[in-house]
Amino acid sequence: MLKRILAVLALFVLAAAGFVAWQGHRFLTTQPETPGRDVRVQIEQGMGFEQIAGMLHKEGVVTDPFAFKLLARYSGQDVRLKAGEYQLNTGLTPQKVLDLLVSGQAILYKVSVPEGLTLRQIARLVEQAGMGSAESFVKLARDPEILAKYGVPAQSAEGFLFPETYRFTRKPGSDPRQVVEAMLGQFQKTLPKVWPQGAPDGKALFDAVTLASIVEKETGQSGERGKIAGVFANRLAKKMLLQTDPTIIYGLGEKFDGNLKRAHLDDPKNLYNTYQHPGLPPGPICNPGMEALKAAASPEAHDYLYFVSKNDGSHQFSKTLDEHNSAVAKFQLKRGK
């Protein structure tokens, strides 16, 4: 009688084990929905696995949060999940979902920063991309610890935020520190390409970046940048005023309405007014790209002291004031007549 009871119990245990194994296999290989639908989930830093499993169940990504937890614990993946925003699908198997969360392949958001933008313009662009507020970006770009970390010889990152296309993970409520540091880090990586023999530091680097920022704003043509840098280098060497409009516009800031007036050129209170103040302006007026930096590092050697727009994106260069006045009359004063 006892043997029969034990035999029945053994059969029951085997049947139960078989059922559990079958259920486990079914869980591992079954897609919650067919066809699946895309679901975005946010894994926050410090989130417990049980909370994550519950969220995935609520979103329909897994059918059994307890079984999903056992799967993760059995495979040792329950402590390896990475924070971030993920694009999942209810048509994925539990193991595939787990693999994605462990891989850290979170959604990346693109932030494209063109050459020649100011710090504040970049801040607004970053805010529009959902990477943090413009105010926070500006504050971080003036943080002494961050600036020191990346060797910025100034009180602001203006000029040192390298224009590039970046990709970042986006977290709710996060500050744009990763954007500021990525841009400053990229600037550091460009230095050996601009100065193969070794980049300057301190004031020499600051002055080079300031000159590069002016070159960046004066022309969009790559072939002219070295020549324009040479004009400014010649004027600085002769202690001539730079007399460049973009510096005045930068100094006006939000007050500039798009119309540069004679009064602006005559105003000595604008410290960026290079018609009134000799030498370089107090600092960079935008964030220059690689070609402008190279031009400032190695200005073209020539005798030109002036240039004027030809209204087609290019410039007419002159060696004397008489030549320059003739060029102005030809390309500017007669425009529209």
Q: Which of 82, 88, 85, 42 is nearest to 61 (CA)?
A: 88
Q: For residue 21, what pLDDT is reported?
A: 39
Give dist(CA 176, CA 66) in Å, integer: 36
Query: What is the band of 161 on the pLDDT scale with cuts at 50, 70, 90?
Result: very high
Percent of all residues in the chain with a pLDDT value above 90, rounded to a whole number = 54
Is residue 105 pLDDT above 70, yes or no?
yes
Percent of all residues in the chain with a pLDDT value above 70, rounded to a whole number = 88
Token digits of residue 233: 């280098």
State mean pLDDT over 288-303: 96
Poorest-confidence range of 12-16, 46-50, 69-73?
A: 12-16
Is residue 286 pLDDT above 70, yes or no?
yes
Query: What is the band of 73 on the pLDDT scale with cuts at 50, 70, 90?
Result: confident
State mean pLDDT over 199-216: 96
Is residue 263 pLDDT above 80, yes or no?
yes
pTM of the model: 0.80
Q: Which of 219, 244, 230, 217 is nearest to 304 (CA)?
A: 230
Is residue 249 pLDDT above 60, yes or no?
yes
Is residue 158 pLDDT above 70, yes or no?
yes
202 or 88: which leads in pLDDT: 202
HEC states along 88-107?
Answer: EECCCCHHHHHHHHHHCCCC
Q: For residue 47, what pLDDT is reported?
A: 81
Cα distances (Å, whole numbers) of residue 283 to 153, 159, 274, 278, 299: 11, 8, 12, 13, 19
Is residue 314 pLDDT above 80, yes or no?
yes
State mean pLDDT over 68-78: 80
Poorest-confidence range of 1-10, 26-35, 127-136?
A: 1-10
Q: For residue 85, what pLDDT is reported?
A: 82
Q: For residue 29, what pLDDT is reported?
A: 63
Amino acid residing at 34: T
Contact 124, 156 (CB under 8 A): no
State mean pLDDT over 207-214: 98
Contact 288, 159 (CB under 8 A): yes
